[in-house]
Structures are given as C-alpha cells and as structure tokens.
Amino acid sequence: MNIKKEIMEFSPIGVINTPHKESTKTPIQPVFAKGITGTVEIYPEYSEGLTDLEKFSHVFLIYYFNQSSKTMLKVKPYLQDELHGVFATRAPHRPNKIGISVVKLRRIEGNILYVEDVDILDGTPLLDIKPYIARFDSRSDVYSGWQDEILDDTANVRGKRDYKE
C-alpha cells in the first residue's frame, strides 16, 4: 500500500477568548462548562464567511491545542484513572493537536461571536467554525466504550474540575 505522508499547513482564522487561564482548572467538555461565556474573534479577512451563521444555535469550534507540549498514544483521561488509546479519548496531547467543541452561539456582532459553554483555554487559535446541524450531527443509536462505565455523578465532579470564575 502506498501511504503518502504530507505536511499540511493551516493558519488560524481567529482567536478564542475565554476566562480559562489554567489548563487544570478548565472544564473538560462544554457539557461541564454550562453558562461559561467567551468570545471568538474572526480575523477581518474571513468575516464575510460568517454570513447566515447567526441563525444557528450551536457551532463547532475547531481549534489548535496550542498549549499542549507533548504527544501521547496512551493517556489516562480526565474521567478515569485507566490508560486508553489517545484516539479513544478527547485528550489534548494527540499527534495532531486538534480540538473540537460544540458551543452555544448567543449572537454575532461584526466579526465577534459571543459563545457559551466553553472548555477552551484563553488565546486558543481557531482553525474553523461549522454550524451544528441536528439533522447531520445528532445520533440516537450510540454507545461510548469506556465512557459508559463512568457514573454521571463522577463525570460531573471530575468534568467540571471545580471551575470558579
């Protein structure tokens, strides 16, 4: 098999501003960051691409984990003290440090998106935005591997990481 490895280059289309300054105090997913607000500043040269986005209640933010300094193929996820393959987790220390968060879109003013439920560190470079579309993105026939072993109470405590503004 001819496997072609290429280097790909991406430039940020904006920056994500949040109240989260410390990795270990940042909630681990939007679902554990309810009501925490942030802004996403889109660089002016891309702002035309925001046309019609304000009619969507949620968006995917796709970003670069710029504060991850290592790559691990086995990680202990935040919700469990057992090792799992990194691709079976949402950990930041992955070969390509891409993060994805579904956040609420409250409003857009010019090139600034006002968002809620952020689990992202302040100053994170934004790579892309896509609208969350229930018809495409919602599933009912779901199972979730090792995550299904974790009790909701445990997830709530460990997932919020005791965030305080």
Ligand X SMILES: C[S@@+](CC[C@H](N)C(=O)[O-])C[C@H]1O[C@@H](n2cnc3c(N)ncnc32)[C@H](O)[C@@H]1O
Q: Which stretch binds ligand X (CB under 6 A): 42-50, 94-102, 134-142, 145-153?
A: 94-102
Say if strands 74-75 and 84-85 run parallel, antiparallel, or are unpaired.
Answer: antiparallel
Tell me the residue ranges of DSSP E strands in the chain: 14-17, 37-42, 58-64, 74-75, 84-85, 98-109, 112-116, 124-131
Total site size for ligand X, rule CB under 6 A = 19
67 near ligand X, rule: CB under 6 A: yes
Check binding of 90 to ligand X (CB under 6 A): yes
**Residue 19 half-sphere exposure, CB side, CA atoms within 13 Å?**
12
Q: Does 121 bind ligand X (CB under 6 A)?
A: yes
In the complex, minimum distance from the CB of residue 25 to ligand X, in angstroms, rounded to a whole number: 8
- Dihedrals phi, psi of 109, to nearest 5 degrees: -125, 110
| 3-state SS assignment for residue 53 | helix
Taking the complex as a whole, how short is the minimal distance between the CB of residue 107 and ligand X, in angstroms?
22
- Does residue 100 interact with ligand X by CB under 6 A? yes
Cα 130 from Cα 44, distance rounded (Å): 18
Scanning residues 23 to 52, which ones bind ligand X (CB under 6 A)? 23, 26-29
Q: Which is nearer to ligand X, 100 or 133 (CB)?
A: 100
For ligand X, the binding residues (CB under 6 A) are 23, 26-29, 65-68, 90-92, 99-101, 119-121, 124
